[in-house]
């Protein structure tokens, strides 16, 4: 493969990075008081990245150094581009209301998405680490970008401090793996591990365990989840939506590449641990969400529980499980970005309106927003005929096929319990009358993004077969 054709593998990241640089440049040359539309620059870059991924689809694994654009990575690139477009569209009210530096905000969001795409297509442990740091540093700053709010500063500091420890664990795991194999490229490590005797070295097992800690932190798995509710509550709602979907998608992409594709011969050593983490994550996330009165914290614990469902697919360790994970990330991504986007749109200057009580009577004040929020919440709860139901069914089917019936039962039971805290908001919107809240007008771009999210959620529930086929083809490409 020529260098020029191999360069195609990095075109999606180049489009997003160029858009981020353009956003910074536009901010630098903007006159004081001038309103320059910067978000459309990011939209152009993300659309370009999505178009590049579509053109590369089904062309085999295109590699540029240690970046591999196979169908697995391209599927996630498309999901991340869609999540990015929706996040940009719902960010404008938050940026205007909080008087945030728009160039800085959008550039950081784009650099974070570029790091996510790089992480999804990286085929080397060191590049995975660099991509992880690119996205993490941008998200740390976005979490605390509202510098005048103590809660935002506290959230950013806590996320940065714990994230630094998790990155150190992950990097030390890479070092131990390199010490045991002499390689950092995933394909070469896979070949060396496959040729090793039945008992791997303690150094290699130590590296696997430390890398597991790093991935578990990024996907908000128990017991490495304590930063999540504070970070989501302190961050602007669109940023929290990006953290709960994009970061999770990128981390699970690398998780699958490392543990299922590269370290699959060692599955007997790590699968029991991941089984326990998945069960604890579903249980703790669900039970903690029941006690929340703040919608952002409830959605944060909900995202922890959903990480547990995704880990169920990872433990299945089969093509059905990988396909289920990809479909779940797509369905969960458009659902949760929409939910957090609505939380941000309902906020007002000087008041976030993110308590469950603030949603009382929303059906009478803004019926369309109430309907959209209902669609997102019911999808998260796994109600048919919405995308969340199909995604959970797909995950639990993969677990049963792999013989993990106990894990599937825990998943079903926690899903039933989760219905309580999702329906609490629905009941408040439709069955409670309250004084009219100060809800600002919804910008056209944000409204269209929410409608598109709801339409995708309904499509994935009613006609999921095409996306399931794409997810299954992507899983096969990884193998």
CA distance 339 to 343: 6
CA angle 134, 136, 139 (to 5 degrees): 110
| 476 — pLDDT class (breaks 50, 70, 90) | confident
Q: Which residues pair with 67 in a beta bridge?
A: 64, 122
CA distance 42 to 425: 33
| 33 — pLDDT class (breaks 50, 70, 90) | low
Q: Please count the CA atoms within 13 angstroms of the CA of 373 that sit on its side-chain side.
A: 30
> Which residues, other chains included, contact 350 with Cβ-Cβ below 8 Å and sequence gap of 6+?
none
Which residue, 160, 162, 129, 161, is CA-closest to 143?
A: 160
Q: What is the mean pLDDT of residues 149-167?
A: 91
What is the CA 179 to chain-centroid distance, rounded?
31
Q: What is the maximum span of the chain, computed from C-alpha positions, in angstroms? A: 70
The answer to whether the beta carbons of residues 295 and 343 sit under 8 Å apart is yes
pLDDT score at 30: 77
The answer to whether the beta carbons of residues 167 and 214 sit under 8 Å apart is yes
Residue 307 to residues 106, 291, 461, Cα–Cα distance (Å):
27, 19, 20
b/e per residue 454-468 (b: at least 16 CB within 10 A): bebbebbbeebeebb
CA angle 106, 135, 51 (to 5 degrees): 65
CA distance 348 to 345: 8
71: tokens are 């169908």
pLDDT score at 455: 97
Cis, peptide link before residue 385, omega less than 30° from 0: yes
* Angle between helices 319-345 and 444-462 in degrees, nearest 10: 150
> Which residues, other chains included, contact 448 with Cβ-Cβ below 8 Å and sequence gap of 6+?
89
Q: Which domain holds residue 183?
A: 3-478
Share above pLDDT 90 across residues of the chain, in percent, rounded to a whole number = 72
Look-up: residue for tokens 């269209």? Answer: 448
pLDDT score at 435: 64
Q: pLDDT tens, 216-238?
A: 999 999 999 999 999 999 999 99
Length of the chain: 479
Q: What is the DSSP string of 344-390?
A: HHT-BTTB---BGGGGTTHHHH-HHHHHHHHHHHHHHHT-TTSHHHH
424: tokens are 């609490």
Whether the per-residue pLDDT at 154 is higher than 70: the answer is yes
DSSP assigned state of 247: I
Rounded to two decimals, the pTM is 0.95
The more confidently predicted of residues 360 and 114 is 114
The total domain count for the chain is 1
Average pLDDT value for the chain? 91
Tally Cβ neighbours within 10 Å of residue 365.
Answer: 15
CA distance 153 to 171: 26
| 4 — pLDDT class (breaks 50, 70, 90) | low
Whether the per-residue pLDDT at 457 is higher than 60: the answer is yes
477: tokens are 């490409």
CA distance 456 to 464: 10
Q: What is the mean pLDDT of residues 306-335?
A: 93
pLDDT score at 456: 97
**Burial grade of 197 (CB within 10 A; 0-12, 13-18, 19 or more):** exposed
pLDDT score at 63: 82
413: tokens are 């039971």
Whether the per-residue pLDDT at 1 is higher than 50: the answer is no
Whether the per-residue pLDDT at 2 is higher than 90: the answer is no
pLDDT score at 264: 87
At 124 the three-state DSSP class reads strand
**Burial grade of 148 (CB within 10 A; 0-12, 13-18, 19 or more):** exposed
CA distance 47 to 132: 23
Q: pLDDT tens, 338-379?
A: 999 999 888 765 566 778 888 888 898 889 999 999 999 999
The answer to whether the beta carbons of residues 159 and 140 sit under 8 Å apart is yes
27: tokens are 């901010």
Look-up: residue for tokens 């998608």? Answer: 249
């Amino acid at each position: 493969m020529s260098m020029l054709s191999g360069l195609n593998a990095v075109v999606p990241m180049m489009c997003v990075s160029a858009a981020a640089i353009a956003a910074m440049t536009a901010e630098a040359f903007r006159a004081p008081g001038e309103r320059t539309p910067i978000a459309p620059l990011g939209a152009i870059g993300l659309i370009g990245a999505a178009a590049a991924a579509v053109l590369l689809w089904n062309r085999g694994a295109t590699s540029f150094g240690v970046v591999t654009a196979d169908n697995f990575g391209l599927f996630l690139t498309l999901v991340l581009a869609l999540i990015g477009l929706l996040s940009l569209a719902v960010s404008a009210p938050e940026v205007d209301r909080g008087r945030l530096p728009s160039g800085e905000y959008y550039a950081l969001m784009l650099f974070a998405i570029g790091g996510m795409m790089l992480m999804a297509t990286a085929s080397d442990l060191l590049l995975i680490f660099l991509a992880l740091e690119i996205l993490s540093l941008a998200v740390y700053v976005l979490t605390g970008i509202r510098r005048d709010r103590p809660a935002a500063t506290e959230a950013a500091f806590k996320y940065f401090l714990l994230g630094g420890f998790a990155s150190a664990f992950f990097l030390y795991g890479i070092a131990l793996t390199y010490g045991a194999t002499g390689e950092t490229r995933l394909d070469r490590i896979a070949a060396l591990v496959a040729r090793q005797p039945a008992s791997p070295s303690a150094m290699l097992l130590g590296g696997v365990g430390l890398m597991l800690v790093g991935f578990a932190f990024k996907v908000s798995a128990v017991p490495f989840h304590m930063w999540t509710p504070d970070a989501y509550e302190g961050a602007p709602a669109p940023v929290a939506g990006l953290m709960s979907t994009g970061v999770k998608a990128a981390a699970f992409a690398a998780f699958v590449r490392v543990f299922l594709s590269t370290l699959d011969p060692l599955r007997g050593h790590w699968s029991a641990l991941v089984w326990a983490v998945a069960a604890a994550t579903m249980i703790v996330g669900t039970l903690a969400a029941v006690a929340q009165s703040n919608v952002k914290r409830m959605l944060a614990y909900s995202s922890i529980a959903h990480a547990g469902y995704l880990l169920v697919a990872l433990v299945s360790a089969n093509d059905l499980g990988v396909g289920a994970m990809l479909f779940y990330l797509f369905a969960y991504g458009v659902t949760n970005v929409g939910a957090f986007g609505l939380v941000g749109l309902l906020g007002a200057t000087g008041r976030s309106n993110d308590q469950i009580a603030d949603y009382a009577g929303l059906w009478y004040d803004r019926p369309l927003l109430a309907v959209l929020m209902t669609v997102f919440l019911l999808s998260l709860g796994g109600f048919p005929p919405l995308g969340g139901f199909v995604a959970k069914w797909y995950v639990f089917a993969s677990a049963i096929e792999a013989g993990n019936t106990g894990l599937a039962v825990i998943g079903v039971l926690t899903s039933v319990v989760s219905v309580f805290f999702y329906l609490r908001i629905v009941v408040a919107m439709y069955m409670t009358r309250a004084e009219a809240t100060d809800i600002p007008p919804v910008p056209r771009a944000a409204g269209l993004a929410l409608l598109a999210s709801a339409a995708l959620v309904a499509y994935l529930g009613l006609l999921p077969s095409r996306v399931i086929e794409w997810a299954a083809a992507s899983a096969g490409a990884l193998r």
